[in-house]
Amino acid sequence: MAEQLVIPVEALDDLIGGLRDHGYRVLGPTLRDGAIVYDELSASSELPIGWTDRQDGGSYRLERRDDEARFGFAVGPHSWKRFLFPPRVRLWRARRDGDAPVVDEELRDDRPLAFIGVRACELHAIAIQDRVFLGGAYTDRDYALRREDVFLVAVNCFEPGGTCFCTSMGTGPKVESGSDLTITELFEGEHRFLVEAGTERGAELLGALAGRPGEASDVEEAERSLESAAGRMGRTMEAFDLRDLLERNLEHPRWDDVAARCLTCGNCTLVCPTCFCSAVEDETDLSGGEAERWRVWDTCFSVDYSHIHGGSIRPSGRSRYRQWMTHKLGTWHDQFGSSGCVGCGRCITWCPVGIDITEEVAAIRATDGADATVS
Amino acid sequence: MATATITDRPGHGPMLPAPFRVARREQDTADTWTLTLEAFDGPGPSIAPGQFMMVYAFGVGEVPISVSGPPGRPGPVVLTVRAVGAVTAAICKAEPGATLGLRGPFGNAWPVAAAGGGDVVVIAGGIGLAPLRPVVLHVLGHRDRFGSASVLYGARTPRDLLYTGLFADWRRTIDVEVTVDTAGPEWPGRVGVVTKLLPDAAFTPARTTAFVCGPEIMMRFAARALLERGVAPERILVSMERHMDCGIGLCGHCQLGPTLICRDGPVYPYSTLAPLLEVREL
Amino acid sequence: MPLFEGLGDEARVLIAGCGRNVHFAAGDRVFREGGEADVFYVVRHGSVAIEAFLPARGPVTIETIEAGDVVGWSWLFPPYRWHFDARALSAVRATVFDAVCLREKCDGDPALGYALMGRFAQVLIDRLQWTRLRLLDVYGNGDHH
């Protein structure tokens, strides 16, 4: 079994085919509606070959590259959470049978999933959601079923986006662990992939591919590529002491400032690869004989999110933005033992008004201790 | 990285309501009913005092309800429910024989055992007496383990008082003081805020554990009054309420700063809670 | 009496000179809205209801006053008339103080007047804060929010 192999770019089809032969539903990046999204792939030709993305606060557009790179872009509006934690899932169905309702739990009806093109930051995001959904006293059964046998083909980043800051969060650009296979796209001389196995089943699949053993020059080029990527992050965030910084600045005037710009649309929570909040919806048929419960993505930016009898706990945009950011960067540590941010930059890119989490942190850090409640 | 494993029995996940039949339904006040629910199979869950159930009314929805029945042994589930919305109204209308779905029990418990050997003060406001009733029942059932025991209870009017039929029994071994916000001349008891009952309650602050439940502002004032009397903030226990959709720490709604109320609460020592309650809209 | 704790012996003797003990049976009226406020009471045993009379609704209890606490402060300021009714809820033992006598003593001894006014201010603040809390109607069903 091979641990490391150099394969021609065309051999990616053999990898996809191999996964499909093993029963996997293969998902990966593809072009749709002017963006690079994640969808089912049947061949490598469906990848965004020769495309890249230009990203900044509130802006995203695709551009042609001057090469035929398969993974020459950063991340788009989708994250893998839409497959592990789908936006809308039926949890169960109940029907009245005499006077006793019979409740049937819904089970996933999917082939096992294989993700191709998972970035280092996204592997960290999956690990974070694993801790949320599987690490506590209760596990999310739907997530557990979907997650159980996911095959992860990771990709080392060589083209970080304008809103990326994974180096600040310690989550990239290099894939360190957590993948079955890791691909590094190399261009010097011939266009090729250096593929490394991280698991037994990864090595097994790799062994079936035609290629040559990786040489020192391949590894050196991969390292140079990653080093270069690490130096081209569009954003930075000083992550030191973030939890305590935010805890002691809950009344900072910057929350008013950001609230004046925030539309509380919740886009950031939809595109965030770690945001996990959900609501349940109950439905019945017209006769009232059958009922269903659905789990749907929710956002802490909605007023209803914190509704209790009598009203909402967080009626203001200020408190809702503060909830999101202090949770993501601060109280997530208390709740789940790590930060909830992987520095992927999606929340910056997809914010309609370009609110930049790195800028908000910097502003609070610059005037640490300022208190809007003290005049 | 955590590995995905399924620890629950197939078909019996924590999000799946189990059917319970309404065995008894008693009206407490104009808008509040106490239901006794029996499991379709088995004796029912064992519930620690202070824990809550997620209660599902068929096709209408689900809400968290604190358990108000006797704690600590398998048996029917007793819930006191105030009809304030569509779901609670549907639950309150469930007649004997009707079926409701229950998940749980969830959340942590009032630390009643740790209060043993000392004095106990229970301060309740409105429907807040319901989650505290298991504490009272525990003290009544283990009366020799506690020093003085007082229940201080405030409600809006005499008509809004819960469990008045039980007070005579409680009063045999514990002190029960009641006050209301307003009353007509037929009310022989006290009128005023519940914290006004504290000065007359007999307890030794240094060895007292206080259990407080009611509207958040009432709990804040009660906690302050207890601190003034010299009760340690770690021994003032408060039960919190927030929106909950799952009850098992996964949906995110019940966050209060660093904690998830369904997972880390609903019972907190005031020493933990005080800094969080000071931040508005947290 | 907690109200006079911390006052000097001389002041306490002076105040005691204005007081005498009284009894009320359950249901007895202590004073009535509009009546001349020339006294105040310190309840020693039992409880007293402060009431308002509402047309078409009758008497409503605003607050009950228990042992150790003060009933009446309309004697402090003109026009020296009771604003509410007071009624004994149970057998009540109280000390009634002659307010006219006390006002004169306070006028003649501003230090005593200041000390006494401070104590009454504390009583007023407590009552006001309790009243404010009830004004929030925290046990209401939230419909009015």
- Give CA–CA dist A354/A268, Å, rounded: 10
Quote the Cα angle for B41-B53-A326, to 5°. 145
For residue B252, give the nearest of A100, A135, A300 by CB distance: A300
For each of chain A's 375 residues, which pLDDT tens digit applies? 458 999 999 999 999 999 999 999 999 999 999 999 999 999 999 999 999 999 999 999 999 999 999 999 999 999 999 999 999 999 998 888 766 677 777 767 677 999 999 999 999 999 999 999 999 999 999 999 999 999 999 999 999 999 999 999 999 999 999 999 999 999 999 999 999 999 999 999 999 999 999 999 999 999 999 999 999 999 999 999 999 999 999 999 999 999 999 999 999 999 999 999 999 999 888 777 889 999 999 999 999 999 998 889 999 999 999 999 999 999 999 999 999 999 999 999 999 999 999 999 999 999 999 998 886
Chains that contact C by 3+ CB pairs under 8 Å?
Answer: A, B
Distance from the Cα of B127 to chain C's closest Cα (Å) equals: 8
Identify the CA nearest to C90 among candidates C140, C26, C1, C21: C26
Q: Are C85 and C31 in contact (CB under 8 A)?
A: yes
A100 touches chain B (CB under 8 A): yes
Distance from the Cα of C132 to chain A's closest Cα (Å) equals: 19
- Give CA–CA dist C114/C110, Å, rounded: 6
pLDDT at B4 over 50: no
Interchain proximity C61–B126, CB inside 8 Å = no
Contacting residues of B for C61, CB less than 8 Å apart: 182-185, 187, 191
Those residues whose C-beta lies under 8 Å from the C-beta of residue C87, and which sit 6 or more positions away, are B185, C27, C28, C29, C30, C48, C49, C51, C59
| CA atoms B254, B256, B262, B263: torsion sign | positive
Distance from the Cα of A175 to chain C's closest Cα (Å) equals: 53
Distance, first Cα to last Cα, chain A: 68
Those residues whose C-beta lies under 8 Å from the C-beta of residue B124, and which sit 6 or more positions away, are B132, B151, B152, B153, B154, B194, B212, B213, B214
Interface of C with B in 11-50 (CB under 8 A): 47, 49
Q: Which pLDDT value is given to residue B6? A: 36
For residue B241, give the nearest of A138, A144, A308 by CB distance: A308
Interchain proximity B241–A315, CB inside 8 Å = no
Those residues whose C-beta lies under 8 Å from the C-beta of residue C68, and which sit 6 or more positions away, are B199, C1, C2, C42, C43, C44
Q: Which pLDDT value is given to residue B85? A: 92
Distance, first Cα to last Cα, chain B: 31
Q: How far is CA A210 from CA A182, A195, A220, C32, C131, in A?
A: 16, 12, 22, 103, 83
C137 touches chain B (CB under 8 A): yes
Contacting residues of B for C62, CB less than 8 Å apart: 182, 191
Interchain proximity B217–C136, CB inside 8 Å = yes
Interface of A with B in 152-181 (CB under 8 A): 177-178
Domain range summary for chain A, segments of one domain joined by +: 4-230, 242-366
Could you tell me the two tokens for B164? 């008045």
B269 touches chain A (CB under 8 A): no
Q: Choose between C12 and A105: higher pLDDT.
A: C12
Distance from the Cα of B9 to chain C's closest Cα (Å) equals: 40
Q: What is the pLDDT of residues C64-123, one digit of tens each?
A: 999 999 999 899 889 999 999 999 999 999 999 999 999 999 999 999 899 989 999 999
- Give CA–CA dist B159/B142, Å, rounded: 31
Contacting residues of B for A323, CB less than 8 Å apart: 255, 282
Q: Which pLDDT value is given to residue B7? A: 38
For residue B243, give the nearest of A137, A307, A326 by CB distance: A307
Contacting residues of A for B40, CB less than 8 Å apart: 100
pLDDT at C34 over 60: yes
Those residues whose C-beta lies under 8 Å from the C-beta of residue A109, and which sit 6 or more positions away, are none
- Give CA–CA dist C103/B106, Å, rounded: 62
Identify the CA nearest to A322 among candidates B246, B243, B247, B255: B255
HEC string of chain A equals CCCEEEEEHHHHHHHHHHHHHCCCEEEEEEEECCEEEEEECCCHHHCCCCEEEEEECCEEEEEECCCCCCCCCCCCCCCCHHHHCCCEEEEEEEEEECCEEEEEECCCCCCCEEEEEECHHHHHHHHHHHHHHHCCCCCCHHHHHHHCCCEEEEECCCCCCCCCCHHHHCCCCCCCCCCCEEEEEECCCCCEEEEEECCHHHHHHHHCCCCECCCHHHHHHHHHHHHHHHCCCCCCCCCCCHHHHHHCCCCCCHHHHHHHHCCCCCHHHHHCCCCCCEEEEEEECCCCCEEEEEEEECCCCCCHHHEECCEECCCCHHHHHHHHHHHHHHHHHHHHCCCCCCCCCHHHHCCCCCCCHHHHHHHHHHCCCCCCCCC
Band (pLDDT 50/70/90 cuts) for residue B11 is low
Interchain proximity A148–B4, CB inside 8 Å = yes
Q: Are B79 and B52 in contact (CB under 8 A)?
A: no
* Size of the A and B interface in Cβ pairs below 8 Å: 157
SS3 B155: strand
Interchain proximity B31–C141, CB inside 8 Å = yes
Could you tell me the two tokens for B258? 């660093």
Q: Which pLDDT value is given to residue C141? A: 62
Q: Are B197 and B179 in contact (CB under 8 A)?
A: yes
Could you tell me the two tokens for A93? 């169905």
- Residue C119, exposed/middle/buried by CB under 10 A (0-12, 13-18, 19+)? middle
For residue A280, give the nearest of B59, B241, B245 by CB distance: B245
Q: What is the phi/psi pair of residue B195, to 5°?
A: -65, -20
Distance from the Cα of A240 to chain B's closest Cα (Å) equals: 18
Could you tell me the two tokens for C84? 């509410």
Contacting residues of B for A277, CB less than 8 Å apart: 251-253
Q: Which pLDDT value is given to residue C144? A: 40
Nearest CA in chain B to C86: B185
For residue A130, give the nearest of B4, B253, B260 by CB distance: B4
- Give CA–CA dist C112/C115, Å, rounded: 5
SS3 B125: strand
Q: Which pLDDT value is given to residue B102? A: 96
Could you tell me the two tokens for B106? 């969830």
